[in-house]
A = this chain, B = another copy of it.
Amino acid sequence: MTTTETRTPTLTPQERDLMHAYWRAANYLSAGQIYLQDNPLLRSPLRPEHVKARLLGHWGTTPGLNFVYVHLNRLIRQSGASVLYIAGPGHGGPGLVANTYLEGTYSELYPDVSRDEAGLRRLFRQFSFPGGIPSHAAPETPGSIHEGGELGYSLAHAYGAAFDQPDLLVACVIGDGEAETGPLAGSWHSNKFLNAARDGAVLPILHLNGYKIANPTVMARLPRAELEALLRGYGHEPYFVEGDDLPGMHERMAATLDAVHAEILAIQRRARQDGVTERPRWPMIVLRTPKGWTGPREVDGKPVEGTWRAHQVPLSEVRRNPAHLAQLEEWMRGYRPEELFTEAGALCPELAALAPQGDLRMGANPVSNGGLNARSLDLPDFRAYRAEVPVPGGVDSEATRVLGTYLRDVMSGNMDRFRLFGPDETASNRLDAVFEATAKTWEDETLPVDEHLARDGRVMEVLSEHLCEGWLEGYTLTGRHGLFSCYEAFIHIVDSMFNQHAKWLRTSRDLPWRRDVPSLNILLTSHVWRQDHNGFSHQDPGFIDHVMNKSADVVRVYLPPDANTLLSVADHCLRSRQYVNVIVAGKQPSPQWLSMPEAEAHCAAGLGIWDWASSDRDGPPEVVMACAGDVPTLETLAAVDLLRGAFPDLRVRVVNVVDLMTLQPHTEHPHGLRDADYDSLFTTDAPVIFAYHGYPWLIHRLTYRRRGHANLHVRGYKERGTTTTPLDMTVLNELDRYHLALDVIERVPRLAVQGARTKQALQAQLRRHRQYIEETGEDLPEVREWRWTTRGE
């Protein structure tokens, strides 16, 4: 433990008093936001009608957040450091709003919330008020990249922001409630992936205010020795600032911030100038202050300050209970607003001078607004990486391996602003060509047997989907680019993180001052159909369904069927902004269908008829075989192959869907097809056999308003899985070529009789399959060796 000794005071008495006054102003504005809709400067006695009808907000964490903010302001002024402030307890929104208002950024972005009494009234009234602003740090909050409504991701976001920003200091306040979450607990080890020479610094400030909503926190009640051991075990040198004595706390916080900042600069100097490569012991601060510090000590005879009762609104009956009203007035007047604000209602100039200027204000740090003019990626021409496809199905390729060669050059062309993230799966997902451009980040010891590890590597591998997602969120929200590749089934680990990020992006779209940030790109591979060997626990294509619930403005889902379409989609996604792009693609050797020009055209349309596989030139199709996903496409084409062999005159149309959003009505999604276009592809009367990668009902959900919906028959994953073979996975779920062909025979009227023999043959083939795998553990040779041979008409 380190407690900064204060022999020579860090602060002059005057400086200390001014900082204290600034903090009082922040606390005053915080309480004002929670309570008042009028009389913002208490220029008249407080009356019930000055108080909002609904009292909402979280007071408890706020004075601590304000305390940190005020002290960081001093550090910035003194050192010129660029500081990003992340408030893990983002529900302390009033504090961040108060501080960005005091420093002036708020009024610059929202001119109607001016720096005068009228502006103060608006500031107070809008908080947690319909049509106003949320009670949490939100996209609306200047300087924020982190909402903190759903707890757990502050530290991961902080590291994501710090990567590749060598001059940035990310101050991350971690609530002791949040510290109990799994994702936060896992995030401490992020320091093993931060390079002191190349990346910025993260300063974790563990804020022990002792209580959650109704309980003490684990961290705050740990015996001191255990807490210290834990933080050292995380690789940090903890500095403790503890108490509620004033001005002592100011003095100790200032001295401690100076000390940790000096230590951070020393670490960076050693790494950058002296070439020290050993992972440093980064400093951190443990700030122990009372919950609801400076708020009411007791309410109705019960202790509040320093207890869980201070969590939200300490005085809840203010409008009805005169004693509460009086106590609120006493509390707020205790901050002496008349000393803090001018007659016009502006912050007094000697206090305003305590804030940093311009972009150094934490509410104005460009990093927090997508890096403001963040640079796009310098992308190579994806066409150069194409698989040569002389004829459809003529060659095999591994789609993600091809993508890897493209990503290698994306990486080498953007060594300051592109990273690849994955839970120990980059090679397993066959993207390992990137290791020709860079290694995996690793700051601890390496051994001769290790491969592709380097302290300055740019591939981020850690066995935590939470960290991959959180780092990437922080990285893109600060204007950089990346791709997270993940086993499809395990992306559900970050379902809720995706939710929160999508909501952030959605809300940001409505804020003119928020710059678009690079999209968050997720590549799902090792997908459900090829997890036959890992079994049922690894088989889950439901993330797509989850994504589709979010606003159409911000989500995109692509299912490229082969390598060239994957390249085209990836290029598109890496250029895009303000989306979550989900790409599902296989890694196994598979037939390639489209040449690069065909792939580009197909991806641009999002879906289309594959003429070369269709046989409907001479009349309307008798059946439409639709497919989305690589394995469904393969099985569909194999079924078409079978059918066209058996029924040479059958008019089959093959439609492949890359962009799932096209299936929706265009009124629901900007990519959605107009009904006429949909009808011309799928017809309004022919049976449509749709082989889909995921849960079949999603296709129904997307198309139930289409005219031909009643004719739509979807095959997909229906939660039948086990440890078996690739073909058998499709057979279990009736998505295989034989079942698809049987579906056609069943649904094309004239095949009822004509198809009887073929039907028997297909059923026999299914029995043969069952017998063969039971004997050999392998799929039928004719399935493994099948290649598309039918030529287009």
Interface residues of A (CB under 8 A from B): 37, 52-54, 56, 91, 128-136, 138, 147, 149-152, 177-178, 180-189, 192, 212-218, 221-222, 226-235, 303, 306-308, 424-428, 440, 442, 444-447, 449-451, 453, 461-467, 489-490, 492-493, 495-496, 499-500, 503, 506-507, 533-538, 540, 542, 545-546, 549-551, 695, 697-698, 700-701, 704, 709, 719, 722-725, 728, 773-774, 776-778
Contact = CB atoms under 8 A, between A and B. Distances in A.
A316 to B, nearest CB: 13
A760 to B, nearest CB: 24
Nearest to A307: B449
A381 to B, nearest CB: 30
Contacts of A222: 233, 235, 444
Nearest to A451: B214
B449 A303 contact: yes
Tallying the copies of this chain within the complex gives: 2
Given A181-B466, A463-B212, A130 B724 contact: yes
16 contacts: A130-B728, A135-B534, A150-B489, A181-B464, A212-B424, A215-B453, A216-B444, A218-B444, A221-B445, A222-B444, A229-B229, A229-B233, A503-B537, A542-B546, A549-B719, A700-B700
Contacts of A545: 545-546, 549
Most buried by B among A178, A425, A444: A444
A428 B131 contact: no
A282 to B, nearest CB: 12
A542 B187 CA distance: 26
A221 B445 CA distance: 6
A748 to B, nearest CB: 21
Contacts of A424: 177, 212-215
Most buried by B among A229, A427, A535, A698: A535
A85 to B, nearest CB: 19
Most buried by B among A52, A131, A192, A778: A131
Given A709-B704, A773-B131, A218 B189 contact: yes
Contacts of A428: 213-214
A463 B178 contact: yes
A755 to B, nearest CB: 25
Contact of A534 (B149, B178, B186, B466): B149
Contact of A134 (B221, B230, B450, B536): B536
A226 B719 CA distance: 44
Nearest to A181: B464
A728 B428 CA distance: 49
Contact of A499 (B213, B215, B540): B540
A131 B776 CA distance: 11
A181 B186 contact: yes
Contacts of A130: 723-725, 728, 773-774, 777
A773 B442 CA distance: 54
A180 B189 contact: yes
B503 A499 contact: no
Nearest to A504: B537
Contact of A427 (B91, B189, B214, B551): B214
Contacts of A192: 218
Contact of A53 (B135, B149, B150, B777): B777
Given A150-B490, A150-B493, A701-B700, A129 B723 contact: yes
A678 B444 CA distance: 63
A314 to B, nearest CB: 14
A151 B463 contact: yes
A778 B53 contact: yes
Nearest to A175: B463
A212 B450 CA distance: 11
A778 B135 contact: no
Given A130-B774, A463-B217, A538 B444 contact: no
The 3 closest A-B pairs by CB, nearest first: A230-B233, A149-B537, A182-B186
A584 to B, nearest CB: 16
Contacts of A496: 489-490, 492-493, 495
Nearest to A233: B230
Contact of A216 (B91, B442, B537): B442
Contacts of A725: 54, 130
Nearest to A729: B130
Contacts of A133: 723
A636 to B, nearest CB: 22
Contacts of A228: 233
Nearest to A536: B503
Nearest to A303: B449
A719 B550 contact: yes
A595 B227 CA distance: 53
Contacts of A150: 489-490, 493, 537-538
Contacts of A231: 233
A507 B493 contact: no
Nearest to A463: B180
A536 B701 CA distance: 24
Most buried by B among A181, A303, A533: A181
A551 B136 CA distance: 37
B492 A499 contact: yes
A37 B778 CA distance: 13
Contacts of A466: 181-182
Contact of A537 (B136, B218, B724): B136
Contact of A701 (B185, B234, B697): B697
A428 to B, nearest CB: 5
B499 A425 contact: no
A776 to B, nearest CB: 6
Given A53-B778, A181-B186, 11 more contacts: A135-B723, A181-B464, A185-B188, A212-B424, A214-B427, A215-B450, A226-B232, A232-B233, A303-B449, A490-B496, A506-B719
A697 B695 CA distance: 14
B182 A184 contact: yes
A785 to B, nearest CB: 15
Nearest to A186: B182
Contacts of A234: 230, 233
A134 B184 CA distance: 33
Nearest to A717: B549
Given A216-B447, A218-B444, A466-B181, A774 B537 contact: no
Contacts of A151: 463
A230 B186 CA distance: 12
